[in-house]
Amino acid sequence: METIKEHARMLACPIAAALVGLIAWSGDVSGLCALPLFIFLWRFARSRRWAFLTAAAYYLVAGRGLILGAGVFFGDDPALPSWAYGIAIWTMPSLLLASVWAGLWGEKHRPLRVLAALLFTSIPPIGVVGWANPITAAGALFPGTGWFGFALCVAALAYLAQTRRPVVVLVGLAISASALNARYHEQQDATWMAVNTDLGAAHGSDDDYARLHALLDIVDQRSSENPNVRVFVLPELVGGDWSMNAIWWQRMAGVLTKRGQTVLVGALLPLDRNTHYENALFSVGADGGKWLADRVPVPYSMWKPWTEGGADGHWAGSGVQDVAQRRVATLICYEQLLIWPVLHSFIHRPTLLVGAANDWWARGTSISRIQHEATAAWGRLFSVPVVWARNE
């Protein structure tokens, strides 16, 4: 009987961590307030093995959308069945991240261990798959406080691992978060507008032509209906191959220029005879000719330097440019889930955050909601407007 009770107590941490992953990564920014509980549960794991199981349960539930989403994305690949891709891409990064927390688990110097785990899961190489990072809680706990709130969040997570009164710390965080969120006013910029689309995936040249003209019609309609909007943001990659499709935007560029408007079009630009390409947002119209590159394309599916045909990465880039007299930071799709690209951008003090995603493969999963949740959390932390566009 005693053994059963002991195992039940040990299982409580992984089960509770799974619930934290479900609540925190539900698509609602307020759910991120649950993330400090992950540190609390990791701390009370009975051994390194149970610390691993606790962290694995958290990451696997947080990344649950990948089971279906990755399977759909790689569904046409004959190398493996779609379900195998879904399980592999769901489990492998989750177990890698859990291994970091397990390897750093211990009885002594717990705050330093937490800081090390947060660091290793936030920067390359491990940080390349460092989604569902507890640091993201900063935007939910301390909105509008910027770098001070970020540092305070990290310090609170580290302190939570060592204090003899963790419940008191958790209650204190809840009270301070409630007070700060009650006073915080969501930042908005009515001169920027996201244009969501439901164009699905491209399926060949005929389909690309129809998608292109549907997109042009959408932009023309939004432009005429919203004369006070200066910039429209389209989702990632909906513009197709920019080397072929840019010419079709010339007439629209003239119309937008006369109206004093600009559109950011997500597209890819093949380079060096299609041996690699840039995934970017291309500006058309009054402030045309700019190119806002994706810094961290999705590993394996897009960023694959071991072979030809992959997207270029710009891991050291800031992602910040001036567009229509605003200092804009861009987070394209996968970047929204990571830590170091966001922090690098905010070092350069952007005044607006643009997110763009192409989630046709993730329709019906939690992935799109989580991307928006993470992007919105960073906007809240640094008190900047967020313009987020997605295609499904």
Q: How many CB atoms lie within 10 A of CB 364?
A: 11
Tokens of 156: 């609170």
**Predicted local confidence at residue 300, as pLDDT:** 87
Please provide the DSSP assignment of 363-391 as one string. Answer: TTSSHHHHHHHHHHHHHHHHT--EEEEEE
* Polymer length of the chain: 392
pLDDT at residue 206, as a whole number = 61
Upstream peptide bond of 14 is cis (omega within 30 degrees of 0): no
How big is the chain by its Cα radius of gyration, in Å? Answer: 22
Asked if pLDDT for residue 76 goes beyond 70, the answer is no
Q: Dig out the tokens for 330 from the structure.
A: 């861009």
Instruction: Answer with the one of 166, 183, 200 that is the final residue of a domain.
Output: 183
Judge if 234 and 374 occupy the same domain. Answer: yes
- Is there a contact between 110 and 43 (Cβ–Cβ < 8 Å)? yes
Residue-level pLDDT at 81? 80
pLDDT single digits (tens) 239-297: 999 999 999 999 999 999 999 999 999 999 999 988 999 999 999 999 999 999 999 99
Our count of domains for the chain comes to 2
Q: Which residue has the tokens 């999963």?
A: 365
Query: With contact defined as beta carbons under 8 Å apart, do 317 and 293 qualify?
Result: yes
Q: Which residue has the higher pLDDT, 73 or 235?
A: 235
**Predicted confidence (pLDDT) at residue 181 exceeds the cutoff of 70:** yes
How far apart are alpha carbons 180 and 143 in whole angstroms? 6
Residues 256 and 263: beta-carbon distance below 8 Å? yes
Instruction: Retrieve residue 64's tokens.
Output: 């649950």
Alpha helix ranges (H) inside the chain: 2-24, 36-43, 48-62, 65-73, 82-103, 110-120, 138-141, 146-160, 166-183, 205-225, 242-245, 250-258, 340-347, 367-382
Give CA torsion, residues 96, 127, 330, 32, to 10 deg.
70
Pairing state between β 386-391 and 352-358: parallel
Residue 60: the pLDDT is 99
**pLDDT recorded at residue 75:** 67
159 and 306 assigned to the same domain:
no
Q: Say whether both 127 and 107 belong to one domain.
A: yes
Which of 163, 183, 203 is the last residue before a domain boundary?
Answer: 183
Domain identity same for 233 and 370: yes
If asked whether residues 216 and 168 sit together in one domain, one would say no
CATH of the domain at 373: 3.60.110.10
Are 52 and 101 in a shared domain?
yes
At 383, the amino acid letter reads S
Do 123 and 198 fall within a single domain?
no
Do 111 and 244 lie in one domain? The reply is: no
Over the stretch 222-252, which tens digit does the pLDDT of each residue have? 999 999 999 999 999 999 999 999 999 999 9
Decide which of 164, 183, 202 is a domain's last residue: 183
Put the strands of the sheet holding 320-323 in their side by side order.
320-323, 326-332, 352-358, 386-391
pLDDT given for residue 104 in this prediction: 98
121 has pLDDT over 60: yes
pLDDT at 83: 84
Q: Which domain holds residue 156?
A: 2-183
259 and 166 belong to one structural domain: no
- Both 237 and 343 in a single domain? yes
d(CA 163, CA 227): 56
Residue with tokens 């997110």: 355
3-class DSSP assignment, residue 231 = strand
pLDDT in tens, 314-361: 999 999 999 999 999 999 999 999 999 999 999 999 999 999 999 999
For residue 264, the one-letter residue type is L
**What tokens does 228 get?**
């006070």
Q: What is the pTM of this model?
A: 0.95
* In a shared domain, residues 110 and 215: no
Q: Please say if the pLDDT value at position 194 is more than 60.
A: yes
pLDDT-above-90 percentage for the chain: 86
200 and 178 share one domain: no
